[in-house]
Amino acid sequence: MNEARRALAAVALPDGIYAIGGYDGKQYLASVEKFDLQTKSWVQLRPMDTPRCTLSAVASNDCQYIYAMGGFNGSALDIVERYNIMTDEWEYITPMIHKRFMHEAVAMIM
């Protein structure tokens, strides 16, 4: 990766592996990078609006969005951000009911 990180979230999609947020030993990260399967290299993407570690992330059924949920940046978070893979943009959506970090998330197909 271009940036050392731990306590990140990762999502695997058909176009690559997304490394989201984390902690570099000094600061909480908002940065996002993707291992591009075609070029076999890491590419920097638009960062999240909120730096955090120990978050969870899942992809939408259609592989168009990544949802980054909760996490920690000095305190537990209820924030949910949605990343649009086509436009390389993040947006805040409805927050979680409870603040969470060090949790898992699963996307269900209905």
Let me know if 54 is exposed, middle or buried by CB neighbors in 10 A (0-12, 13-18, 19+).
Answer: buried
Asked whether residue 59 is domain-assigned, the answer is yes
Does 52 reside within a domain?
A: yes
Does the pLDDT value for residue 109 go beyond 70? no
For the entire predicted model, the pTM comes to 0.94
- How confident is the model at residue 72, as a pLDDT? 98
Domain hosting residue 82, numbered range: 9-93
The reply to whether 26 falls in a domain is yes
Residue with more model confidence, 65 or 109: 65
Q: Are the beta carbons of 71 and 77 closer than 8 angstroms?
A: yes
Give me the percent of the chain exceeding a pLDDT of 90. 92
Query: Average pLDDT for residues 74-89, to the nearest whole number?
Result: 97
Dist CA 34 CA 106 (whole Å): 20
Q: Nearest to residue 31, comparing CAs of 39, 21, 40, 23?
A: 21
Any domain includes 60: yes
Query: What number is the average pLDDT over the span 55-80?
Result: 97
Q: Please tell me the predicted confidence (pLDDT) of residue 8.
A: 98
Residue-level pLDDT at 107? 77
pLDDT at 83 > cutoff 90: yes
Mean pLDDT, all residues of the chain: 95
pLDDT at residue 105 in the model:
85
